[in-house]
Amino acid sequence: MAEVNIIAAVASDGTIGKNGSIPWDIPEDRSYFRRLTTGNVCIMGRRTFESIGRPLPERQCIVVSSEREYTGEMLCSARSLREAIEKANAYITENSPSASIFLCGGSRIYSEGLELACRLYLTELDRPYHGDTLFPEFSSEDFICISRRSAETPGCTFAVYERTGNKKYTGKGECSMKLAEALQERADLNRNIAQLRERLCANAIVQENESPAEDPKDLLKELNSSIDRLQELMERINLTNSLVEYEGRTITQLIAQKDCLKVRISAYKSLVSDASQTGHRARMTEIKLLSTVDVKKLQSEIDKMSKELRLLDNTIQSLNWTTELK
Ligand SMILES: NC(=O)c1ccc[n+]([C@@H]2O[C@H](COP(=O)([O-])OP(=O)(O)OC[C@H]3O[C@@H](n4cnc5c(N)ncnc54)[C@H](OP(=O)(O)O)[C@@H]3O)[C@@H](O)[C@H]2O)c1
């Protein structure tokens, strides 16, 4: 059985929709949605499907409707959410064993889906939109926030909630984690650890008869648990990178290739830049400076390598989003 996730953008008053559409347009959120759902199965209610107006490309789309039938390439319908999930699992077993299921709204799909979902990907907006369609309430006893990242768009945060009681990130339970999410969490942890260090140092000494603003014992406890979590993630990221292969090369090898390509491009660029400083240098006698290398040829090699780097980067990025953390 594939894992079931919920993905939604939710305003501070719970709004997800207004008059049949989404009352905001945040390109960064659209690309986050696309990145997470591409290659997976998207289940949505009939009205949401109608508001989008077409099946989402590169995703198997299942529309839930009690009356209407939808068929097409990468498109089908189901009479209930349960039936949609059964169809999604059948599709995944047959076509794409590492794919996940994403419930993409609207509100009834989300309400029913909350019981089944192991993870919620919520883009949280910090202002109300007074809409007519709301995201259902959920309890912090059922879901805890495991990652929160400010988007570049002001007032927008990407939060990930996970069902409590799951064996988090063991890779053995129903819930799993994509490599890209682990990398994001690793970056968040590193930032958090740096802040904790500063807070610890700021509270390391106090004047006689005064107490620190924050208790260093609590901070130390938080620091240690963050570092433990970081260690766990780093071990699993390294393990995943060393096991997962793309066209006969592991992710570790692709990353090494990418890093070395960057070093090579940078060295070539410096050479081209220095070798281009030709012309005349005025001294006691006029000295003519000539390039010792073929600048044009080097530049075309740089262009070729830069293209290779871009492709490699895209490959690694998409592997990150499709690979389950071991
Ligand atoms: N912010 C976000 O992330 C987000 C995401 C998705 C949608 N939205 C917005 O939400 C609004 C649409 O949501 P909505 O709640 O009004 O409608 P919806 O859930 O998309 O569609 C409702 C319809 O889906 C079918 N349906 C849903 N659950 C079903 C079930 N369990 N069993 C059988 N049929 C089921 C029924 O179709 P039939 O009537 O054909 O039986 C129902 O009338 C729009 O404004 C949209 O833009 C926002």
Per-residue pLDDT tens over the stretch 70-120: 999 999 999 999 999 999 999 999 998 778 999 999 999 999 999 999 999
pLDDT of residue 170: 36
Q: Which residues line ligand 1 (CB under 6 A)?
A: 8-9, 16-17, 20-22, 44-48, 51, 64-68, 80-81, 104-109, 112, 133
At 281 the pLDDT is 64
Mean pLDDT along residues 198-220: 92
pLDDT band at 167 (very low <50, low <70, confident <90, very high): very low
CA angle 194, 196, 200 (to 5 degrees): 120
Gap from CA of 115 to ligand 1 centroid (Å): 17
Q: How confident is the model at residue 184 (pLDDT cuts 50, 70, 90)?
A: confident
| Helix and strand element counts for the chain (H, E) | 8, 14
Mutation to probe ligand 1, out of 64, 69, 80, 114 (largest number of atoms < 8 A from CB): 64
What pTM did the predictor assign? Answer: 0.62
pLDDT at 144: 84
* Separation CA 58–CA 176 (nearest Å): 22
pLDDT tens digit string along 282-301? Answer: 665 677 888 899 999 999 99
> What pLDDT is attached to residue 165?
61
**CA 2 / ligand 1 centre spacing (Å):** 22
Local confidence band at 172 (pLDDT 50, 70, 90 cut-offs): very low
CA distance 87 to 77: 9
Interval 310-323 mean pLDDT: 91
How confident is the model at residue 283, as a pLDDT?
60
Tell me the mean pLDDT in the region 309-325.
Answer: 91
Atom of ligand 1 nearest to the CA of 33: 3
d(CA 224, CA 197): 11
At 175 the pLDDT is 59
- The SS3 assignment for 301 reads helix
Ligand 1 atom nearest to CA at 18 = 45
Q: What percent of the chain has pLDDT over 70?
A: 94
- 166 has a pLDDT exceeding 80: no
The predicted pLDDT at position 271 comes to 96
